[in-house]
Amino acid sequence: MIALLMFKTPLRRLIRMGLDRLKSVAVLFLSIYNMFKIQKREIEEGVVVNPINQVLMANHLLQATLMVMCIFLTFLFSFVHFFYEFLT
């Protein structure tokens, strides 16, 4: 794997794109997991919502929303590029 990334080969670009998309999806799932963890902690403790947890929840929700939009736009652009290449 490291050798494929070191030398300029046709597979290098494909591997880099795949790793980048995998990283985006991992960050998305981590953000969603943290939201559920905060929500579960509030339910288990049975206390009034903590303002710090509200800020953290809003931050994670914003991150997850932005990541979904980025992933959607990436797939949309790749499909448009594929069909453009197919038609020309």
69-77, Cβ contacts within 8 angstroms, sequence gap of 24 or more: 70/24, 71/21, 71/24, 71/25, 71/28, 74/21, 74/24
d(CA 81, CA 67): 21
Over residues 3-12, mean pLDDT: 73
Amino acid at 37: K
Q: How many domains does the chain have?
A: 1
Q: What is the pLDDT of residues 48-69, one digit of tens each?
A: 778 888 898 899 999 899 988 9
Domain that holds residue 24: 2-87
- Render 27-47 in DSSP notation, one character per residue: HHHHHHHHHHHHHHHHHHHT-
Q: What is the pLDDT of residues 69-87, one digit of tens each?
A: 988 888 888 888 878 888 8
